[in-house]
Amino acid sequence: MDTRKMEKITALVISTIVVGLSFFKVWDWQTVGIYAGSDIAGRVLYPFFHANILHASLNSWCLLSMVFIYDIGIWRLVLAYIIAVTIPVDTIECFIGEMTSPTVGLSGIVFVLFGSISFEVLRKQYYQLWMIFYLTAGFLFPHTNAILHLWCYMLGFLVALLNKPIIKKSHD
């Protein structure tokens, strides 16, 4: 029996909700998005709402791929969600002024997970080069919250770094 059954079912349920919600028209993105000055509802809900079905499908596919391929436990999923919803949008907005329009999408959680597997991938340098490419590309596309992606990736990487086993070399 699969030991990570709960995590896989959780990812499937989240993905189903995300894709399902993408079929409904959101009349006011301010109520379900995160932005400078957003209320708690926007912070909690923004990962579940998406601009369109393609956006929802790509983010859901990334989440499912991460959970099914890597050892993503339920606590890592919860931590990724907490990191993604606690991005300091008010502070970042003071420096760059880009967080005034609402952001929605599961990509914050996905980028935390991307960062958190940094030391688990086999080809670490290759992986990091692709992550640099994806993060940089986010800054080139309009309506992409690249700051949120970068923030979430860096915190996921930090969590991975802090939880990396320390290898003690013996001096024989």
Mention every residue, 6+ apart, whose C-beta is less than 8 A from residue 61: 15
Give per-residue pLDDT as tens, 142-155: 888 888 899 999 99
CA distance 126 to 120: 13
Q: Which fold has domain 5-158?
A: Rhomboid-like fold (1.20.1540)
pLDDT-flagged residues of the chain (< 50): 1
pLDDT of amino acid 37: 81
pLDDT at res. 1: 46
- Listing DSSP states for 17-47 in one string gives HHHHHTTSPPS-HHHHSB-TT--HHHHHHGG
- What is residue 13's predicted lDDT score, i.e. its pLDDT? 95
Stated pTM of the model: 0.88
pLDDT of residue 135: 95
pLDDT at 172: 60
pLDDT of 107:
93
What pLDDT is stored for residue 9 in this prediction? 93
